[in-house]
Each structure stands twice: as structure tokens, then as C-alpha cells.
Amino acid sequence: MRVLLVEDEKKLAEALAYQLRKHGYAVDTAADGEAALALAQAQVYELFVLDWMLPKRDGICVLKEIRSLGVEAPVLMLTARDSLADRVKGLDAGADDYLIKPFLTEELLARLRALSRRKNKDYVGSLIATGAWTLDPLKGEARCGDRCAQLSQKEAQLLELLMVNEGQVLTKERIFERVWGYCAEAELTSVELYIHYLRKKLHTTAIKTARGVGYYWQDEANDA
Ligand code: CA
């Protein structure tokens, strides 16, 4: 799941990005309103964590702008303000939830999970099935008949991406962006490495290589 984190307090932004990545999110960060808008226009995000007080353009302005662009992804606003009037203003502008600073990381993670469940009822938290395989993305369990493979977070994210795009070739660059995030410190070769891990764990030929391009999922009937 891809998140845009917009926070101008550098230390807080770094700490949050670290925690989010640790919990399996692909995180991009922006330190001001204009950078946030530029990223929101260039990339697709499934969640936004948006600070209210920001340089250049404030959080409400960014929120209104991304909603006017037709972005429907959940937005969690971070704010030191807790007056009722401000909350109403934020919700009117299209925010989905609020978190008052300071907050615990666990609280942020719980809110994000709730938001993504609400918005992606058919997707997050439910099983993904193609052919003989099913994946529980939250538990990281991939099953095929009696076989069950326990996957790491990144492996599960990668498999999820392949399975929901069944039959479609995904370029290495696209996979990298979706699983590791635009600004991640990992390298493009991680994609190959994790494809290798997945093939080994699943003992499947369903992960196909499109030579020189990328990978795709094609689960043949005889795969089980
Ligand atoms: Ca701020």
C-alpha cells in the first residue's frame, strides 16, 4: 500500500516514514504543500497522511486541491489543533480522519488500517484468489491446495501486486515503485531478488518472466 506522508518537521517525518515502511507501507515523503501536490499529481497513492500546518501551502489547501483532482484515497490529517471548528473545517475539506499531535505510532497505524479497510472493502484484508492460489495479504499466507507458504511483508506485497494484475506484465520499475516506494533506498535489483524468493517459497511456475521487461502472474490449471 502506497502512502504519501506530508510533514515538515524533519525528525517526525523521518520517524513516521521509518515506522510506516517497517509495517509494510511504501512511503513517499513531502516537506511542504507544493511538493505534496506535485507528487499527488505525478503518482497514485492509496493513503495520505497530511500535516495541517505546512510551508508554502497548508494541509487544508493541499487536501482541497487533491480532492478537486478527483483523488478519492483516504486522507488522515495530523494536527496540533484540536478545536471543534478546525476539525469540522478539515472534514468539510474532505479529510477522512484526524490525529492530534503528539500521538503514538500504534495509534497512527491503527487509524491507517481502519481507513484502508473502509475504502478498500473488497481488497485490503480480504483474500485474493487467482486460479489455484489464494493470498491473505495481511497474514502473508499464500495457499495452493494443501501447501501454505509464509511470506515476509515485501514478498506478500509483491505477490499481491502480481496476483491482482493477473496476466498483465508489470515492469520492474512499476513493481519497484508500488512495493518499495518512489523515494525508497532499496535498489531496482531488489525486484529480481524478491521474485526469486517468491518462486522458491511458492514452488510455482505461475510467476512468469517477460524477458527484458518485467514479470507477470499466470496460474496454469496444472500448477497445483
Ligand atoms: Ca507542521
pLDDT digits 0-9 by tens, 77-136: 998 766 667 777 777 788 888 888 888 888 898 888 888 776 654 444 467 888 889 988
In terms of domains, do 9 and 113 share one? yes
Q: Following DSSP, what letter does each residue of the chain receive, concatenated?
A: -EEEEE-S-HHHHHHHHHHHHHTT-EEEEESSHHHHHHHHHHS--SEEEEESS-SSS-HHHHHHHHHHTT--S-EEEEES---HHHHHHHHHTT--EEEESS--HHHHHHHHHHHHHHHTTTTTTS-EEETTEEEETTTTEEEETTEEEE--HHHHHHHHHHHHTTT--EEHHHHHHHHH-TT-SS-THHHHHHHHHHHHHHT-S-EEEETTTEEEE---GGG-
Ligand 1 centre to CA of 144 (Å) is 47
In terms of domains, do 8 and 99 share one? yes
123 domain residue, yes or no: no
Ligand 1 centre to CA of 68 (Å) is 23
Ligand 1 centre to CA of 214 (Å) is 39
In terms of domains, do 95 and 154 share one? no
Phi, psi for 2 (deg, rounded to 5): -100, 125
- In this predicted structure, the answer to whether residue 183 has a pLDDT above a threshold of 60 is no
Ligand 1 centre to CA of 177 (Å) is 26
Ligand 1 centre to CA of 18 (Å) is 18
* CATH number for the domain harbouring residue 182: 1.10.10.10
In terms of domains, do 99 and 203 share one? no
Ligand 1 centre to CA of 54 (Å) is 5
In terms of domains, do 74 and 12 share one? yes
In terms of domains, do 138 and 69 share one? no
Ligand 1 centre to CA of 55 (Å) is 8
CA dihedral for 102, 104, 109, 111, sign (positive or negative)? negative
Instruction: Report the distance separating Cα 126 and Cα 90, nearest Å.
Output: 30
CA dihedral for 96, 101, 105, 106, sign (positive or negative)? negative
Ligand 1 centre to CA of 33 (Å) is 10
In terms of domains, do 114 and 157 share one? no
139 domain residue, yes or no: yes
Structural domain range at position 191: 128-222
Ligand 1 centre to CA of 79 (Å) is 8
Ligand 1 centre to CA of 51 (Å) is 6
Ligand 1 centre to CA of 102 (Å) is 12
204 domain residue, yes or no: yes
Ligand 1 centre to CA of 210 (Å) is 44
Q: In the sheet where 141-144 sits, what is the strand order?
A: 128-130, 133-136, 141-144, 147-150
Per residue in 85-101, pLDDT tens? 777 777 778 888 888 88
pLDDT for the residue 211: 92
Domain finish residue from 92, 118, 144: 118
Domain finish residue from 73, 89, 118: 118
In terms of domains, do 134 and 45 share one? no
Ligand 1 centre to CA of 217 (Å) is 42
In terms of domains, do 136 and 209 share one? yes
Please give the tally of structural domains in the chain: 2
- In this predicted structure, the answer to whether residue 222 has a pLDDT above a threshold of 50 is no
Domain finish residue from 91, 118, 145: 118
User: pTM for the whole thing?
Assistant: 0.58
In terms of domains, do 156 and 111 share one? no
* CATH number for the domain harbouring residue 114: 3.40.50.2300
Per residue in 58-84, pLDDT tens? 999 999 999 988 888 999 999 876 666
In terms of domains, do 31 and 98 share one? yes
pLDDT for the residue 124: 42
In terms of domains, do 134 and 39 share one? no
Ligand 1 centre to CA of 53 (Å) is 4
Ligand 1 centre to CA of 105 (Å) is 17
Ligand 1 centre to CA of 98 (Å) is 14
